[in-house]
Structure 1
Amino acid sequence: MNASPVSSTTAGLAVAGCTGLAVFGPLVGLSPAWIALLVGGGLLGLTLDASQLEGMGGHLLAEALPGGKMRLRRVARHEAGHWLVAREEEMKVRRVLVGTRPCLEAGLRCNGATEFELPDQVRLPMEDLRRWSRVLQAGMVAETLLEGSARGGADDRALLGRIWGLSGQDVATAQREQRRARREVEQLLRKRLDDLDVIAGRLLEGLDPEVT
């Protein structure tokens, strides 16, 4: 089995900590032995993060600190966009996860995910292609509307590209339909911004997105 990559967040924290100890440790009276011990502990933590936490330890730490939920607000809004548009399209959502810990517990290396029932057939009819185009772009649109830009969505774009690539449609048609779908989603979500924030808030609290 290949070793799990260490996240840039975790590696950055480790490097910053080691550098800080080397520079400021002697100034505050830390002996070289203590500095070596602390640096060794940091490197051990980095190794454990890579082997046991799939390189996501830095994210877990950041989310556990004060203000951690605010760091996840963008993720929650992204997933809320997927969920809301999927409901409009009557597409089944298996589950919605927000936060590194629940994602790791589900076997996913990310800090947010919305899982759908994937289609049974490879070549989808045009209307289904349009529905998937709306649902898979909804997270990025929600982020853009509520946060000013979209940081997530690479997996969404990749899946959408695969679905269209297997559809037998030409590239020009795929691009045109995806642009059309994005405009439709933007129009819908602009009218549902309050609902988006309510759903995102429930996801941040670990609640079901459905408001009963």
Structure 2
Amino acid sequence: MSSQSEATALRAGAVVAALTGLSVAGPMLGLPASWLALISAGGLAALTLDAASFSGMGGHILAEALPGGQQRLWRIAAHEAGHVLMAQAETIPVSQVLVGSLACVRAGLTSRGATAFSVPDHAKLPLEELRRWSRVLQAGMVAEELLLGEAWGGRDDRHLLGRLWGLSGHDVDTARREQRLARREVTRRLRSDPDALKQQARQLLDQAPRLFRGGAS
């Protein structure tokens, strides 16, 4: 089960548990049965609407639209900006950049941000190609660290990078050493021009759509 599927299942379970608790405690609190029925129906309807219309991402979409949501989007924009700049440096074409849950849902993704490029699908990549992808895939996490002090995203990047190295035939020690070297190189490059990183992140942030507000679609 994916992390998003797990989160959706947890939300559904939480809603059902809350409604069950309310049905038990409601009469003791003096709540009319009609209120309990209305609240239960509303909770289940909201959960169904979220799953049907927003792929279970409705909570994230709403949070990004509320006060404070700009900071959530800024972190995502910083992450994707790192990928974009490093892909440009490595001459790897970027086909799409999405910032925010709403942009991702519109594109059919259950994610909060994404940078799309064509990852080689053959099993074994030359060492230099692995080094290039190690830099590009770790650039998002490094960008977050440089602009925000720590990285929250990057789970999918680490998974893909691990898969590429796992298919390469290189031993684990080599893979870890090369990834550490790549991360240091990415840090050096992005740190050398912080204004370019901030500018790219701001550009992506400005293009990010938000609920109740216009933006790129």
**What's the TM-score once normalised by structure 2's chain length?**
0.81
Distance 1:192 1:10 in 2: 41
Please state how far the C-alpha of 1:144 moved relative to its aligned partner.
1.2
Alignment correspondent of 1:118 = 119
Higher RCO structure, 1 or 2 (CA under 8 Å, sep 6+)? 2
| Residue-by-residue CA offset, 1:58-100 (whole Å, 9 max, x unaligned) | 0111122233222211111000001011111111111110011
CA contact (8 A) 1:10 1:57 kept: no
CA contact (8 A) 1:6 1:56 kept: no
- Pairing of 1:1-212 with structure 2 (within 5 A): 6-7=7-8, 31-119=32-120, 121-206=122-207
| Alpha-carbon distance change, 174 to 192 in structure 1, aligned in 2, over 3 angstroms | same
Amino acid at match of 1:200: A
User: Secondary structure of 1:205's partner?
Assistant: helix
Distance 2:13 2:138 in 1: 31
User: Secondary structure of 2:92's partner?
Assistant: coil
Point out where structure 2 has 5 or more consecutive residues left out of the alignment.
209-217
Distance 2:198 2:14 in 1: 31
RMSD: 2.9
Point out where structure 1 has 5 or more consecutive residues left out of the alignment.
208-212
Greater percentage in helix: 2
User: Secondary structure of 2:187's partner?
Assistant: helix
Distance 1:161 1:71 in 2: 27
**What's the TM-score once normalised by structure 1's chain length?**
0.82
Distance 1:199 1:16 in 2: 43
Structure 1 stretch displaced more, 4-13 or 114-123: 4-13
Percentage identity across paired residues of the two chains: 57
Distance 1:7 1:73 in 2: 24
Please state how far the C-alpha of 1:115 moved relative to its aligned partner.
0.8
Distance 1:70 1:12 in 2: 29
